[in-house]
Amino acid sequence: MQEFSSGGVRIAYIEAGEGEPILLLHGFASNHSVNWVFPQWVKTLSGAGRRVIVYDARGHGQSEKLYRPEAYGIPLMAEDARNLLDHLGIERADAMGYSMGARVAAVLALAHPARVRSLVIGGMSDKLASSAGLGPEIAAALEAPSAADVKEESAKMFRVFAEATRGDLKALAACSRGARRKVGVAELGALRLPVLVAVGSRDDIAGDPRRLARLIPGARALSIPDRDHNRSVGDPVFKSGVLAFLESRP
């Protein structure tokens, strides 16, 4: 992986392919490999003639670990994405985020509309507007002595996933406390770019993609059949839907 400094924070990234650029933003406790390389997204998009940029969010993967919640504000994480585009000399890119990455990508599109050509929101529905993000129970689960000590099932799922991806639990706990921002209904209504919302039909964490699509002018909704939050990521329906969306957008 290559590295650059985003406001003094070391961010690791990779590139693949040539053509129109697309920036991929992974979910909480994941990393560029788990979210985008292993599920064949990088291969799929680069094979379709696109320049693919993927990076590890601060506190994740091979990027720098920080231990203060205030270091993980969603606007700060969106600036990491913009700074990476600047570092690579990319004026405008498609952006695809999954779960937490979708929240960061949406804030990037709102803060810098000239930099985002289209937006794919994966693993996120209208909780983007109704919830600020991960709650304190996730941080508590990450700080528990072991996953067996976590009683709440969804919080335990995050703890088990963080261990499976070999995440820094202390840094991730800080991230879960700091990476919180609602994207208001009025903000969503002000988006003026092509948007695809893709969620698994069994994703109880995200919910129905149509509820979010209705809040964004012209947005499309894609339901990924029989997939939950984690298993939606690499699904062929998700991939084909994104490729069709990218080909059809202006």
* Homologous superfamily of 2-126+182-248: Alpha/Beta hydrolase fold, catalytic domain (3.40.50.1820)
- How open is the CA angle 78-82-85, to the nearest 5 degrees? 145
Determine the 3-state secondary structure of 109 from DSSP.
Answer: helix
Per the structure block, which two tokens stand in for 121?
């929101």
Residue 135 pLDDT > 90: no
Q: Where are the domains of the chain?
A: 2-126+182-248
pLDDT 10s digits, 149-184: 999 998 999 999 999 999 999 999 999 999 999 999
Cβ contact 200:227 at 8 Å: yes
pLDDT 10s digits, 62-110: 999 999 999 999 999 999 999 999 999 999 999 999 999 999 999 999 9
The pTM (predicted TM-score) of the whole model is 0.96
Residue whose C-alpha is closest to residue 32's, from 108, 101, 89: 101
